[in-house]
Amino acid sequence: MGNRVVVTGLGTLAPNGVGTADFLAGIKSGRSGIKFIKELKDLNFGCQIGGFPDLSVHPFTGILKNYGIPISTSALTFACLAAMEAWDDAGLNIPSPGNELVNYDAGIIISTGIGNSEIMAEKISPLLAAKLPKRLGGRTMEQVMISSPSAFLSGVFALGNQCLTISNACAGGIDAVIEGFERIKSGKAEKMLVGGTEGFSPYLFAPMDATRIPTRNYNDNPQAGCRPMSKTASGFVFGSGAGVLFLENLDSALQRGARIYCEITGGSTNSGGHRHGGSMTAYNPQGVVKCLVDAIEDAGITPDKIDAVSGHLTATKADPSEIALWKSVIKPYRNDFPYINALKGMTGHCFGASGALETIACALQIHNNFIHPSINCEDLHPDIEKEIGFQAIPFVCIDNFEVNYFANASFGFGDVNACVIMNKFNT
């Protein structure tokens, strides 16, 4: 059985909300954070729209320097700000730099898809071209490490348990949540900061743009650009930000009287092994179904108990097939299909952070009894309408809706899948 695991803190830096309170208001109202980005136009990108959080309004920006955290890469900065908010939101004080006490029961797992691409491109590459590696100095190494967010943050919070970075493309955010969940469930940790971060940089977006998968049709209408489940969806949209959750052993949370957003009851992460149509850029449908079924089984429930689904749904031609896979898992157990929504319509695809931001959105919906709208799909794809009908799509916010079980999944490049099951906390 193991320990029960609850979410007691949230930290959010999303294109449509800076700080969790603003993000909550954003997802309830269907606010898009997607903008036209002149820099991408100037660089001849096909997709010239994207989303990024506005750091100027974040309350913790000023204190990063107190902990020796450089603000040279956006992935690192986003992760640190989100983690500080999650820690503070959990009701804990951020330790002062001089405090020598290490918490060996608390750890951190952060996902990032690409990492600190700005350092590689803007600092290392020009200095090597000038044959001046010495000028990189002593700090470049610690900033270019893909593990720099988790490493810097273990120092900020004096975390002595597991300190780990996960890189697993679009699935990494949920992978981090599941790894932290399992670590607490097994008793190896009491508290875990888990989540994901992805920076905002043309160097990060360029290889994606070159795949021609991001949309090129909405440069003059950015907020309508990301259209999960729509028949006019024409590709994903660049997103960036960070989401960090504070996971905690239930006994610890109850003992200190912490606010509990929701419980995490199960999860699964797997790969389709690049078979049955799976590849570096497409999933093996069999692997996806197995991941969803295993996660639901791990939660100790049957699919009919699921009240809402947070899909991966990136606004590509894969959306209808994803819906068909969800239906194949749920349909044998119930006639109707539960609500399904897509956060990416509002945020774009935040890659290594996307699953973490979606997990935060699920926690907020469970805690506040609502289903956020899935924007830009008024023209629902006919195949999706045929599979699950209009009634499963929250075109507007559904208020006063109690979600007992939320299924939340991400599928990533490399044929990797992750699904976490979250539920309303009941003693």
Q: Which residues bind other proteins (CB under 8 A)?
A: 68, 97-98, 134-135, 137-139, 141-142
Give whichever of 139 and 317 is closer to other proteins, judged by the CB atom: 139
Phi, psi (rounded to 5 degrees) for 65: -65, -25
Give whichever of 139 and 259 is closer to other proteins, judged by the CB atom: 139
What is the Cα–Cα distance from 381 to 30, expressed in whole angstroms?
A: 19
| Min CB(66)–other proteins separation in Å | 9
Give whichever of 70 and 285 is closer to other proteins, judged by the CB atom: 70
Residues in the chain: 427
Give whichever of 138 and 257 is closer to other proteins, judged by the CB atom: 138
Please write down the HEC assignment for all residues of the chain.
Answer: CCCCEEEEEEEEEECCEECHHHHHHHHHHCCCCEEECHHHHHCCCCCCEEECCCHHHCCCHHHHHHHCCCCCCHHHHHHHHHHHHHHHHCCCCCCCCCCCCCECCEEEEEECCCCCHHHHHHHHHHHHHCCCHHHHCCCHHHHHCCCHHHHHHHHHHCECCCEEEECECECHHHHHHHHHHHHHHCCCCCEEEEEEEECCCHHHHHHHHHCCCCCCCCCCCHHHCCCCCECCCCCCCECCEEEEEEEEEHHHHHHCCCCCCEEEEEEEEEECCCCCCCCCCCCCHHHHHHHHHHHHHHCCCCHHHCCEEECCCCCCCCHHHHHHHHHHHHHHHCCCCCEEECCHHHHCECHHHHHHHHHHHHHHHHHHCEECCCCCCCCECHHHHHHHCHHHCCCCCEECCCCCEEEEEEEECCCEEEEEEEECCCC
| Min CB(58)–other proteins separation in Å | 23
Give the distance from CA 13 to its chain's centroid.
10
Give whichever of 143 and 316 is closer to other proteins, judged by the CB atom: 143
On whether the CB atoms of residues 34 and 50 are closer than 8 A, the answer is yes
Listed residue (101, 90, 111, 86) closest to 159, CA to CA: 101
Give whichever of 99 and 281 is closer to other proteins, judged by the CB atom: 99
| Min CB(59)–other proteins separation in Å | 22
| Min CB(140)–other proteins separation in Å | 10
| Min CB(284)–other proteins separation in Å | 44
How many CB atoms lie under 10 A from the CB of residue 47?
25
| Min CB(138)–other proteins separation in Å | 4
At 305, list the tokens. Answer: 């108990």
On whether the CB atoms of residues 236 and 213 are closer than 8 A, the answer is yes
| Min CB(123)–other proteins separation in Å | 13
Give whichever of 8 and 140 is closer to other proteins, judged by the CB atom: 140
| Min CB(336)–other proteins separation in Å | 59
Residues in Cβ contact with 385 at an 8 Å cutoff, skipping those fewer than 6 apart: none
Give whichever of 98 and 257 is closer to other proteins, judged by the CB atom: 98
| Min CB(25)–other proteins separation in Å | 37
Give whichever of 142 and 304 is closer to other proteins, judged by the CB atom: 142
Give whichever of 57 and 141 is closer to other proteins, judged by the CB atom: 141
| Min CB(128)–other proteins separation in Å | 16
| Min CB(115)–other proteins separation in Å | 20
Give whichever of 76 and 224 is closer to other proteins, judged by the CB atom: 76
